[in-house]
Structure 1
Amino acid sequence: MIIGGANYLEKNKTVVDDLNVFPVPDGDTGTNMALTMQSAARQVKKSNANNIEDIAKAASKGSLMGARGNSGVILSQLFRGLAQGLTGIEKANTKDIARAFKMASDTAYKAVMKPIEGTILTVARECAEKAEELAKEENDIKIFLEEVIKHGDETLKKTPEMLDALKQAGVVDAGGKGLLYILIGALKAVTFDDDEFFDELDEYLKADEETKEYTEEADIKFGYCTEFIINSKNGDIEKLKDELTKFGDSMLVIGDEEHIKVHIHTNNPGEVLEKGLKIGELTNIKIDNMRYQHKSKVVDEKHVQQNQEDEMKKYSIITVAMGEGIKNVFKDLRVDYVISGGQTMNPSTEDILKAVENVKGENIIILPNNSNIILAAKQAKELSNRNIEVVPTKTIPQGVTALLSFDEDLDLDENIENMEEAIKEVKTGEVTFAVRDTTINGKEIKKDDVIGISEGEIKSIGNDIREVSMDLLRNIIDEDENDLITIFYGEDISKEKAEELGELLEEEMEECDIEVVYGGQPLYYYIFSVE
């Protein structure tokens, strides 16, 4: 059932990813839940257990260590409660499963500081309550699970009425959908009523363990990150976009009168390059094998302290970031380890624990720099016997600001208080592109629109990166309160373009100091720090 659930979610994870409320290119609920489930399934396979209690414990351990993102952490808590509910049980009947479902739901609710209805928590609770009701009369596991899933699906359909953000986006809750896929896969594993599913499951079980050791590799549908510039005065950008869409995802095609920049994840880089050659001369060609990169090293544990010696020291700081420029900023601020991650790639609890094991501080401070990593960091804190504090930074600017307020001579409590106060004083702006059509807060957004985001809200929409950037900054800057703007420009923006934006800001916002810094982050053209 565990392996069947993992397999079925893996097959349908993109459906879950596409339910992301924001149309940004980092919808990853399905991916995070699938990676968490794969970790649970691998642990079950390793355990060779033949009773329900031990299998549930193995799934709990695997999901706990492999948990990624908030959805993955909540899923791991569901498995934790499930294992507790099945303690002492070798074979389970419907009453045992109902009790375990209830304990799973209760455990997950307790793990979340402020539970919100209309999420995976609601679907789990409703499934548990339905299971308790059914178990009083129903002994047939197949009928029991079918009815639980049916009720869960009815609950899922109601989630847009519980959360306005879901209603506006016209989607159901992604985590709840992922949970139902797991339950459906578990049901298929019990009933043996789908020959095709079991052929696929057989292949899933036969998969070589070494190739699945780093699960991001299994997650990469299109393996080659392909980038190039077309020198052409007659290029039709919209036509090129249409032609390239069928070759992959994470596509970006932008340009001016003389150049077109192309970025795409594809399995056919040669064919993509041929399309470009039909328009003009190609320069700056770069093709990276992402599967190889991820397999060789998922967590980029960088020794950014040059003299990392064996003896303990007072503090070690761990942070999460993507983009070489941003990592170098953290290096300059004396961070001990940078875990590669952020949008599109949330590190697991185990990844964070590995970083903890490799630093020497008596006190360890973790800066997640992403709201979807905070729960995994806190879970790592609970699992470790080291003295760890998690400063709940949600953005890169918050992480940088927190570090600037850190003082090695102060005690831990004072530092944490100062860092948490400091992150309240910085505003973050991000500029990226929309991956689908949607409407949010009455704003109509089309696929490929440039969008400006700040504090969880889409503030600006348009077709021009610079115009959207300026509009976003006008929305969030108060010249009476803010005096420093830092521009982190991403891998798809040239230094010249970023400096042009900086000069434009200096002209319009004379009271503010402007800094332009290479961030190198993927998918996000700019990240702005406003202080």
Structure 2
Amino acid sequence: MKIKYIDGKQLKNMVVRGCQVLERNKKFVDDLNVFPVPDGDTGTNMSLTMNSAKDEVESVVNGNVEAVAKALANGSLMGARGNSGVILSQIFRGFSKACKGKETLDVGDFAKALHMASDTAYGAVMKPIEGTILTIIRSVSERAMEIGEIEEDICRMLEMVIDHGEEVLSKTPDMLKVLKEAGVVDAGGKGLIFILNGFYEALTGKIIIEETTKREKKSNLKIHGDKSIQFGYCTEFIIKSTNANVENLKKKIMNMGDSMLVVGDENLVKVHIHTNNPGNVIEEGLKLGQLVDVKIDNMRYQHENRLEKKDLKKYGIVAVAMGEGIENIFKDINVDKVIAGGQTMNPSTQDIKEALDSINAENIFILPNNSNIILAANQAKALSEKNVIVIPTKTIPQGIGAVVAYNPENEVDVNEKNMNLAMKDIKTGQITYSVRETTFKDIDIKKGDILGISDGEIVTVGSEIENESHKLLKNIVDEDSEIITLFYGSDIEKERADKLAEEIEEEFEDCDVEVYYGGQPLYYYIFSVE
């Protein structure tokens, strides 16, 4: 069946089916990951991101292409997990930009949307690497632009675009040496192909399975009865208009409350204000156009975990960590909020933003403590109204070192500089196990092998945890090293960790050795060398 145009309903079906196809194949995508450690895998992260997008899209009732695409962009942005999820959210953000003002899409429109998706994704990555999902979205968008000039059928275009994408995907090992060594194609690129396959299936008559369960957001309300709040209702909404006068609206509502924020243009205006008469504010908004995303919160009836009204403190710190012991260490060194996450569980942009919102501070430092969380942290920063500084820590020891270098008496730029310098002075070693068979830099790795990792590189492979620990430390301890800190995981008993620490102290007699319970899953030991 030839399809010359797709409307909002069809686009919604495409998103739902794309999510389902990716969900069904996420394990396949996970298994393409070159790095064999049990970390936040590409397929899982992309699937979680798509599920968030799907939930948002399904909430759109009788929307046109613009409305559905906007929901797709917003849902994926807030649910983005890991680098692959963040890049996917940027792809959908670009796609949404091209759909602005569109009731339907024809072949040319769809091709331009893919082209904008590619440009936006590339623009969001500081140092784009070819042979990744970026290469795939660029290649399929270029092919779509070519087809859009000669083809009218969107189904036929998608079929040809997917074929081209698969062809380019098969060449990614020639673009990235690490893929060739492992004998796999790029995981993120394959995930994107699965999503496009879902789009194609939706348009060609495949049955879309209705989801019977929805994610529930739980909230416990507690009456605070704080009579000191002058304006009790936090009122927010978006105005969709054709000729809104933003400055005029500001003047009309500025005396109705405080904490006013009115931003946007003549077509879309975001309004936020604390007022005692939300109806009056809404009435002014209705004079300009249709209201969406209306939200009114009685600030005297706060969520249980919301901070009471008080002056902002100068600094706050958010850290991402996994393991009871490590979480407690961060709390002991005055980290305000520890987000549970790291290996296998990358927090979303929304998770990080909620942590930022929960801290009553003017300046907030984020410590991702994992390379796969840095992009999501930066997206949360962009969404926050506070001054957020992302310290790009990739490991737990780097995060702890950065916090130790922080001084609440220093200015923001001095703290940022000192925390970044401290992070770079710390070497990290990790002992874990392989979750799949692979070849990494000419090293044959079997499932279940014990791996020693130094700052993201596999340097030892063996069968015994303590042996690999010694071999790993020989790789990272040098004549300038003074302190070796050992964090033992949930699968290691204290006596075993203490015995290893004694052996390390004998082997590296010029270093002080410290032992802490980390409680982290999957990683038997984490070493900090400084």
| Counterpart for residue 477 of structure 1 | 477
Query: How far apart, in 2, do the equivalents of 1:496 and 1:329 lie?
Result: 20
1:150 equivalent among 153, 163, 175: 163
Q: Which amino acid aligns with 1:105?
A: S
| Counterpart for residue 406 of structure 1 | 406
Residue 171 in 1 paired to residue 181 in 2? no
Pairing 1:46-445 to 2, within 5 Å after superposition: 46-192=59-205, 194=206, 198=207, 201-202=208-209, 205-210=210-215, 310-445=310-445
Query: How far apart, in 2, do the equivalents of 1:488 and 1:380 lie?
Result: 29
| Counterpart for residue 521 of structure 1 | 520
| Counterpart for residue 505 of structure 1 | 504
| Counterpart for residue 228 of structure 1 | none
| Counterpart for residue 458 of structure 2 | 458
Question: Deviation per CA, 1:198-256, whole angstroms, max 9, x where unpaired?
Answer: 2xx32xx3322246x69xxxxxxxxxxxxxxxxxxxxxxxxxxxxxxxxxxxxxxxxxx
Question: Deviation per CA, 1:425-457, whole angstroms, max 9, x where unpaired?
Answer: 000000001112211111111111101001221
Query: How far apart, in 1, do the equivalents of 2:161 and 2:408 lie?
Result: 54
Once the two structures are TM-superposed, the CA of residue 529 in structure 1 deviates from its matched residue by 0.3
Contact map agreement 2:317 2:335 (CA 8 A) in 1: yes
Query: How far apart, in 1, do the equivalents of 2:41 and 2:56 lie?
Result: 23
| Counterpart for residue 20 of structure 1 | 33
Query: How far apart, in 2, do the equivalents of 1:34 and 1:10 lie?
Result: 6
Q: Which has the higher helix share?
A: 1
Contact map agreement 2:173 2:184 (CA 8 A) in 1: yes
| Counterpart for residue 40 of structure 1 | 53
Q: Which amino acid aligns with 2:357?
A: E
| Identical counterparts, % of pairs | 57
Query: How far apart, in 2, do the equivalents of 1:337 and 1:49 lie?
Result: 40
Larger Rg: 2
Query: How far apart, in 1, do the equivalents of 2:40 and 2:374 lie?
Result: 17
CA-atom RMSD in angstroms: 1.6
Once the two structures are TM-superposed, the CA of residue 309 in structure 1 deviates from its matched residue by 8.0
Once the two structures are TM-superposed, the CA of residue 311 in structure 1 deviates from its matched residue by 3.2
Query: How far apart, in 2, do the equivalents of 1:528 and 1:190 lie?
Result: 52
Once the two structures are TM-superposed, the CA of residue 329 in structure 1 deviates from its matched residue by 0.5
Once the two structures are TM-superposed, the CA of residue 308 in structure 1 deviates from its matched residue by 8.9
| Counterpart for residue 260 of structure 2 | none
Q: Which amino acid aligns with 1:513?
A: D
Stretches of structure 1 that go unaligned for 5 or more consecutive residues are 215-301
Contact map agreement 1:393 1:399 (CA 8 A) in 2: yes
Q: Once structures 1 and 2 are overlaid, which stretch shifts more, 436-445 or 127-136?
A: 436-445
Question: Deviation per CA, 1:394-450, whole angstroms, max 9, x where unpaired?
Answer: 000000000010000001010001000111100000000111221111111111110
Once the two structures are TM-superposed, the CA of residue 27 in structure 1 deviates from its matched residue by 4.9
TM norm structure 2: 0.80
Contact map agreement 1:20 1:27 (CA 8 A) in 2: no
Query: How far apart, in 1, do the equivalents of 2:62 and 2:326 lie?
Result: 45
| Counterpart for residue 485 of structure 2 | 486
Stretches of structure 2 that go unaligned for 5 or more consecutive residues are 1-13, 219-303
Question: Deviation per CA, 1:357-402, whole angstroms, max 9, x where unpaired?
Answer: 1101110110000000000000011111111110000000000000
Q: List 4+ stretches of structure 1 deviating above 6 A.
A: none
Q: Which amino acid aligns with 1:101?
A: L
Q: Please give the secondary structure, in 2, of the residue aligned with 1:47.
A: coil
Query: How far apart, in 2, do the equivalents of 1:371 and 1:210 lie?
Result: 28
Contact map agreement 2:118 2:138 (CA 8 A) in 1: yes
| Counterpart for residue 467 of structure 2 | 467
Contact map agreement 1:348 1:376 (CA 8 A) in 2: yes
Q: Which amino acid aligns with 2:61?
A: N
Q: Please give the secondary structure, in 1, of the residue aligned with 2:191.
A: helix
Query: How far apart, in 2, do the equivalents of 1:329 and 1:309 lie?
Result: 28
Question: Deviation per CA, 1:146-191, whole angstroms, max 9, x where unpaired?
Answer: 0000000001100010000111111110000000000000110011
Query: How far apart, in 2, do the equivalents of 1:473 and 1:399 lie?
Result: 20
Contact map agreement 1:49 1:55 (CA 8 A) in 2: no
Query: How far apart, in 1, do the equivalents of 2:384 and 2:464 lie?
Result: 47
Query: How far apart, in 1, do the equivalents of 2:495 and 2:371 lie?
Result: 31
Contact map agreement 1:451 1:460 (CA 8 A) in 2: yes
Query: How far apart, in 2, do the equivalents of 1:8 and 1:458 lie?
Result: 33
Query: How far apart, in 1, do the equivalents of 2:84 and 2:177 lie?
Result: 19
Once the two structures are TM-superposed, the CA of residue 310 in structure 1 deviates from its matched residue by 3.9
| Counterpart for residue 225 of structure 2 | none
Query: How far apart, in 2, do the equivalents of 1:49 and 1:472 lie?
Result: 59
Question: Deviation per CA, 1:9-52, whole angstroms, max 9, x where unpaired?
Answer: 01100001111111112251101100100111110111214311
Q: Which amino acid aligns with 1:456?
A: G
Q: Once structures 1 and 2 are overlaid, which stretch shifts more, 364-373 or 47-56?
A: 47-56
Once the two structures are TM-superposed, the CA of residue 131 in structure 1 deviates from its matched residue by 0.1
Q: Which amino acid aligns with 2:375?
A: L
Once the two structures are TM-superposed, the CA of residue 465 in structure 1 deviates from its matched residue by 0.3
Query: How far apart, in 1, do the equivalents of 2:381 and 2:424 lie?
Result: 23
Query: How far apart, in 2, do the equivalents of 1:411 and 1:366 lie?
Result: 16
Q: Please give the secondary structure, in 1, of the residue aligned with 2:484.
A: strand
Query: How far apart, in 2, do the equivalents of 1:438 and 1:58 lie?
Result: 39
Q: Which amino acid aligns with 1:326?
A: I
Contact map agreement 1:52 1:89 (CA 8 A) in 2: yes
